[in-house]
Structures are given as C-alpha cells and as structure tokens.
Structure 1
Amino acid sequence: MTRCLLPFMLAAGLAGCSVFDSDPLGDARAAFETQDYMAARDLAAAVLEADASDAPALELMARIHLAMGQGADAIAALDRLEVAGDAPGDTDLLRAEALLQTGETSDALALIEDDQAAEAWRLRALAARQANDIPAAARAFARGRNAEGDKTRLYPAEASFHLDTADLAAAGEAVALANDVAPDRVETLFVTARLAQAQGDQVLALAKYLRIIEKTPLDRPALLGAIAASEHTGQPGITRHLIAYGAETRPFDSEFIYQTARVDAWDGNWEAVRERMQAHEAELENHGSARLLYAEALLNLGQVETARAMASPVLARRRDAEAERLRQALEAAS
C-alpha cells in the first residue's frame, strides 16, 4: 500500500542526494535551503569527516543543528568555529538560540541584550514563552514586527504563539505576513495548516501538510497533522496510506503503533489490536487514546473487567467524545 505513496513523499528528499554529486558542501547548502535538514546534516558531516576544520561546513552544521532543535550540538560547532577564529557575523544570535534550546535562558538573553533586529526579538519572544510569560512574548513579537531585518522566522513563530493561545484573529494576521514573505517554507506551511484546521478548513490543512511532507518526507508533526486532516475530510484511503507510511518510516514510534492499531480496529480486527497493544504495552502506558483503544479491543473480545481496568485511569480524567463512547460501551456491557 505504501509503495504508491512513497515516491511522492520521497521525491524532494532524493532530489538533492545523487551519488554523482561532486560538491558535497554545495549540496549540503542546497538541502539546507530547501529545509531537508537530515540530508543537509549527512552531507555536511561527510565534508567534516574529510576535513574536521572546514569552517564553512562547521558553520553550516551549526545552523543545521539549530534548525533541528539540537542546541548542544550547535554550541559545540560554534565553539570549534570560535577557536579557529572563523565565527560567523551572527554568532551571538546563533548561540543565543542554541542556549534557548538547552534551557539556558539568561545566558541567551545576555548575548542579544543590545540587538534590536527582528531575529533578536523573535528569540526574546521564545524566551518569554519558555517562561510562560504570555504578555512579554506578545510584546516581543510586536517589537519584532517593527524592527529591522529578516522576518522569515518571526512571522511563523508569532503565528504559532497566537494559535497556542487560541487568538485566531492575531494568528491569521501573522500567517498572512508569513505567506507574504516565505509562503513555501515549512514553518509557514505548518502554521497555515494549523490555522486552517482551527477554522474548520480541513481540505486546505491537508494540502499544506502534504506539501510539507513532499519537501521533508520525515516531518512527524506534518504527517500526524495530515492524518488528522484527511480523516476529517472523509478520505480514508489517504488516511490509511499516511498511517502505513508513518509506520514504515517510524516502526518504533509509539504514535504509529497506535495509529496502525486504529486501522486494525476500523477493519474490525480486534484480536490484531489486542496483540499489537499487548506487545507494546509499556511504550503506550501513558498514551491515553491507545489505552482506550486497547480497552475497546478487550471489550469486543469479551474481556469486560480487564477492559474496564485498562480504561478507568483515562476515563477518570477525560470527558471527550472518544472517552464517552467507551464509557457508554462499558456500562452497556455490565
């Protein structure tokens, strides 16, 4: 089933990875620009394997690590650049973001204390979010809008902030600005999809999520978003393909173990659900929806009391439709 979907999803990733390429650093930069960070990392690593002191490759690797949320690795690369005397002009911004990723907020803010550019305000906003200071984050994003400099990353970050605080009007404004500046960047596509979902436009959300997967085939949040959106649009074929693709590319990911069990449940194969859940019970212990599905499988297999014991901790704290449906089924079976 996944074979017909994989070429579509992997096309972008394969495009920059030809074995006949003769410029690994150029290819790494190209992959970075298209946001295929895993390919960029591997290509830059090959350059550094040949010459561990290659300054352009070290700088690129630092930026790749930042893009992947690997702050400690980014700091290590920046340290090597500084020792060699090849630190890039935006070293303080790069190091500040890396420090934010490693939880060293005070040190991060100290590095950009005098920087009034848009990127510095984005980092201040992120620091405020980490501290759960919503008003300070909003002020920092507002200052960033009026600041000088590149705002490619500011606008999607602001949109994400407003989506997280359920301010759809402000999110819509930030999403529009992000699309004006860089409509095909992953961050812009992602916040556009999230806003569309929040506004009930699941078709647009699905299109944006699929575009992210086309660009970066292993993007987990986009894949999960696409699964949810395709299900809401009533396209079970796409949903099944996406789940199968996720299970194939992330065989040990507990979320896709659960998603695959959902497919078994749709097919009425409750024994397969039980076996899958039982085999991964430890990994799924804190996954509420997986526990409810496991309980539903046990219920359908006639193990009512075991199902009740499995579901009870989740039902005690959840009142959503999924939990209510199982609660009623258990009551009916009593």
Structure 2
Amino acid sequence: MKRLAPVLLPLAALALASCGDSPDTVLAKARQDLGAGNAQEARYRLAEALRSAPGDARIVMLLAQAHLQQGDVDGAERVLSRLGKDAGSPQALRLRARIALQRGKAAEALRLLARDTSAESSAIQAEAYLAQGDSDAARKAFQNALDAGGGADVAAQYARFLLKAGELDRTAQVLRGMQARDPGAYQTLVLAGDLAVARGQTDAAMVAFQKAVDAYPDRVPPMLALADLYGAAGRFDDVEPLLDKAQTIDPDNETVAAMRLRVLAGRKRWKDIRNMLQTRESQLEPGSEAALTYGRALLNLGQPGQARMLAGRAVLMQPDNRDALLLLGEARLATGDAPGAWSVLQPLAAGALAAGDVLRPASRAAKAVGAPQADALARRTEPAQLARTEALVAKGEAALTAGQWDVALGVYRTLLGTREDPEVLARLAFVCTQMRQTALAIAYADRAVAVSDAPQYLYVAGLARLEGGVQLPRALAQLKRAAEAQPDDADIAQALEKARAAAG
C-alpha cells in the first residue's frame, strides 16, 4: 500500500481542495488545467465538484470536454447524458458533434451544427468537411470561424490546413495574425518553425523551434523537430542533448529511439547499433527503420549474409521499399551475387532522380555482369556529373516543398530530357495541376501511367482530372484503382472521396 501513497495523496488533496471551492472557482481552475494539457487533473476536480452540484450544466459540459481531450468518447457521452433541460443548448450540441466526429460520423456532426454560426461550431464543421474530403467547404468553414472571432486554436487549425495544402503565402498571412495576437503562444511558435521548414528556410526553422523549446521546456514535439533539423545538417552533438531531454519527459517515445539510431548511423557507429539491436532482432518489424538500420550496420561490419536475410524479409513484406531494395542489392553484391544485385539495383538506378547511394552500387553491379547500361552508369557516377544531378534534384524538391511551381516545372523538364521517366512525369503532372494547366497535367500523368500503372501515378492522373473538373468518371476510376492498391494512403483516400462527391 505504501507504493500507492505518492499517487493517491495528491489526488486526495486535490479532491479536498475542490470541496471547499465555489463552482466558479472549480471551473476556472479546470479550464486552466485543460489549457495546460492536464485533462486528468481537470477530470478529478470537476467530478468532485459535480457531487456537490449535480445539476450544474457548466460542470457537466466541461467534464465532457475533459473526457474528449483524453480521447474518452464513451466517457464524454455518459457525462452528457446527465444534462437535463440544457441537453439541446448550443454548447451541448457542439460537444455531441465532436463525439460524432471522433466516431467517424462527419455527416451527423454537420447536422447537429446546422444552425450554429459560432467560431467553435465553424471550426468543428471544418474538421467534419475535411473528414469527408471536401477541402473547399473546409476552407470556407475555417474562414467563417476566424471571421466569427475564433482564437489561436482555430487559427492554428486553419494554418495547418493551408500548410498541408501547400498554400504557404496564405499560411504566412494567418501566422502573422497569430503573432500579432499572441506571439509567445505555443501554436504560434511551432507553426513558425513548420512554415520555415516548408519553405526550405532551415536556419529560420531552427531559430523558431529553439524559441518554442525555450518557452515550453516540457513540450516534446518542438524538441524533436529541432533535433531532426540538426541531424539533417550533421550537427549530431546538438541532437543528443535534445533527445535526452525529450526522453526524460516521455520515456516511451518511439521517435526518440528512432532518432538515436539515425544519429548513430550518421556517425557510422555501426558497432553501437549492432549492440543496441542484436538482442531484439527477432522483434524488429521487417522493413522498419530500425530493422534496416540494423541490417546496414551488419553490412558495414562484414556480415553481409545476415544483412541480406533482413533485407530479403523486408522486401517480401514491402516490395516497393526503396531502402530495403537498396540494402538487398548491396548485400547481394557483397556476397558475390552480382546478377542478383543487378536485378534489384537496375530498376532503382534507371530513374532520373536516382541518388549516388543507388548509382554507385548499381554501377559496380552492372560492370560485374557486363550489362549494357554499365558505361552510362559509370558516367552518371562521375563526381562532377553526380553533383550536378543531385543539386538539381534537391532544387526540385525544395521548389515542390515551397510551392515554387515555375521553378519546379523548369527543373523537372530538365531532368526528364528525352526519357519517359514515370517519377519525373508524375512530378510534372502534379506541378501543372497546381498551376491550373489541366491539359498539360493530364498529358504528363497519362505518359507516367503508360510506363507504369503504380498507384502513385494513377493518383496523379486522377487528381489532374479532378482538380481540373474534367473527365470526372475517368478520374474516379483511376483513384479507385489507386485506393485499392494503397488502401492506407490518406491523400488517395481523400481525393477519392472528393471525386465521388464531384461525380455525383
């Protein structure tokens, strides 16, 4: 029983404190708890207060909100069932709409809020429209929420919607409003970092996330975002202190463990990786980042056979996993199986976007088997040529991220040259879709599908037609095929829902 005392005594003290407080005081303290992310404390406080004032609708609804904040939908619904004459109040209907939304019933949520024009209602409606795949209606609802006086949370939701949609200038506009109202708010600081990342402004992103870490030292996400940027820049000495802090706050955070592995791999500390993972080898999910990092460590430590086994398992589970295929090709090459290595590496190296980590082993494999592509691959791996290509690829990716469509169009046209590369064609189709050049987008997309009917190319072809408002039956058919092949892809699923609505 003594082991329970440290947990039970504070809760008992909290309950006793709540007994002597007025309902208004309890509500104020509970709102502070919820604002600080302490939903559990709010629940204890409100549940105790409800015993003294069982008919207080304000306490009932705030307690339901606390349950929802913890993801306890059933608990929220049970609490709301205690409402009497206030069951049909606007606030109660909003809570019921949130419950419906969390249960995947977006249409019911919209029905409950049909006559509610408040900022909170409009924000919930925006979430419901997003769940239905109707981004245009979601955009209008978010704007309505802001116009109705929505605060920082609504602005942050809207900004993240715009950020995901690639509307960086509009995101920046919303962010400026957030900075004017509350420059030190958590959402404001983190959004500034995310927007800088989207624009490829690494230094500015580091500054923004550092501000968030300094202002909110108990929040893990900005720590990990900053650590990720440091890791990408090779600043591993700066990464580890952030991971140590994050692990202290959230010991079971899987991202922290994954990032530690990336640091070790970046430092080529292969023995440390092997020592960390070898006792858990049987538990590693095939194709996971940890399993492939472990396989690469074994390859670099002179155990290519074991690396080949791990990579083979991964490819069986995930045939399109680029990292698994690369590791398998390299492991086969290291075990003397040049034909097997070439069979895996040749498709990876064929694309115009292939990087040096693929081209170099592919070139060795091609030379070993006397493949006709050997000379061309040797030229592509010449340092000067490889540097030019990788710089161009990086420029294209940065332009896509930043929504610089004219720049991206020029880069990918250069990379395409005279070849029919489906990956480059798909990027060109996507860029032209964003530029509202529908006919050109469809032409590029159809050329990609003619080379390969992989789901990502079907998706781009369907999206080009859907966004252009043309050939909607064909768009629907292409998106259906893409969704059947990749049922877990959220972007494909959202486009399919929008196509179904557009096709009637």
TM range (shorter): 0.7 to 0.9
Residue in 2 that maps onto 1:188: 188
- TM-score, normalised with respect to structure 1: 0.74
Distance 1:116 1:50, change over 3 A: closer
Aligned partners of 2:308 and 2:327 also within 8 Å: no
Residue in 2 that maps onto 1:124: 125
The Cα offsets for residues 62-115 of structure 1, whole Å up to 9 and x where unpaired, read as 3334445544443333334x1596997522223312321232212211110111
Cα distance between partner residues in 1 of 2:283 and 2:192:
32
Cα distance between partner residues in 1 of 2:91 and 2:152:
16
Residue in 2 that maps onto 1:317: 320
Cα distance between partner residues in 2 of 1:71 and 1:174:
31
- Partner letter of residue 95 of structure 2? L
Residue in 1 that maps onto 2:116: 115
TM-superposed deviation, 1:161: 1.0
Aligned partners of 2:119 and 2:150 also within 8 Å: yes
Q: 1:3-14 to 2 correspondence within 5 Å?
A: none
Residue in 2 that maps onto 1:244: 244
Cα distance between partner residues in 1 of 2:227 and 2:263:
12
Residue in 2 that maps onto 1:270: 270
Helix, strand or coil at the partner of 2:152: coil
User: Which structure has the larger Rg over C-alpha atoms?
Assistant: 2
TM-superposed deviation, 1:217: 5.2
TM-superposed deviation, 1:199: 1.3
Cα distance between partner residues in 2 of 1:79 and 1:153:
27
The Cα offsets for residues 141-182 of structure 1, whole Å up to 9 and x where unpaired, read as 34444x423243322111111221222222222222333334
Helix, strand or coil at the partner of 1:37: coil
Residue in 1 that maps onto 2:159: 159
- Partner letter of residue 205 of structure 1? A
Distance 1:247 1:277, change over 3 A: farther
- TM-score, normalised with respect to structure 2: 0.52
Aligned partners of 1:70 and 1:98 also within 8 Å: no
Residue in 1 that maps onto 2:44: 45
Aligned partners of 1:179 and 1:188 also within 8 Å: yes
Residue in 2 that maps onto 1:333: 334
Cα distance between partner residues in 2 of 1:195 and 1:111:
34
Aligned partners of 1:261 and 1:272 also within 8 Å: no
Q: For structure 2, which runs of at least 5 residues remain unmatched after alignment?
A: 1-10, 336-504
Distance 1:60 1:282, change over 3 A: farther
Comparing 102-111 with 183-192, greater Cα deviation is found at: 183-192
Q: 1:31-180 to 2 correspondence within 5 Å?
A: 31-32=33-34, 35-38=35-38, 40-46=39-45, 48-49=47-48, 52=51, 55=56, 57-80=59-82, 82-83=83-84, 90-145=91-146, 147-180=147-180
Cα distance between partner residues in 1 of 2:240 and 2:286:
24
Cα distance between partner residues in 2 of 1:252 and 1:153:
27
Distance 1:162 1:68, change over 3 A: farther
- Partner letter of residue 113 of structure 1? A
Aligned partners of 2:223 and 2:242 also within 8 Å: yes
Cα distance between partner residues in 1 of 2:81 and 2:236:
50
Q: 1:198-237 to 2 correspondence within 5 Å?
A: 198-213=198-213, 219-232=219-232, 235-237=235-237
Cα distance between partner residues in 2 of 1:176 and 1:66:
30
TM-superposed deviation, 1:195: 0.7
| Equivalent residues, number | 310
The Cα offsets for residues 173-211 of structure 1, whole Å up to 9 and x where unpaired, read as 222233333433333333222111111233443344345
Aligned partners of 2:178 and 2:188 also within 8 Å: yes
TM-superposed deviation, 1:22: 5.5
More helix, by proportion = 2
Aligned partners of 2:308 and 2:332 also within 8 Å: no
Distance 1:221 1:281, change over 3 A: farther
Residue in 1 that maps onto 2:32: 30
Q: For structure 1, which runs of at least 5 residues remain unmatched after alignment?
A: 1-16
Distance 1:327 1:204, change over 3 A: farther
- Partner letter of residue 159 of structure 1? A
Distance 1:167 1:227, change over 3 A: same
Aligned partners of 2:190 and 2:222 also within 8 Å: yes
Cα distance between partner residues in 2 of 1:129 and 1:301:
48
Helix, strand or coil at the partner of 2:149: coil
Cα distance between partner residues in 1 of 2:102 and 2:333:
49
The Cα offsets for residues 249-278 of structure 1, whole Å up to 9 and x where unpaired, read as 333333222223334445544343234334
Distance 1:215 1:42, change over 3 A: farther
Aligned partners of 2:193 and 2:206 also within 8 Å: yes
- Partner letter of residue 153 of structure 1? D
Cα distance between partner residues in 2 of 1:69 and 1:50:
22
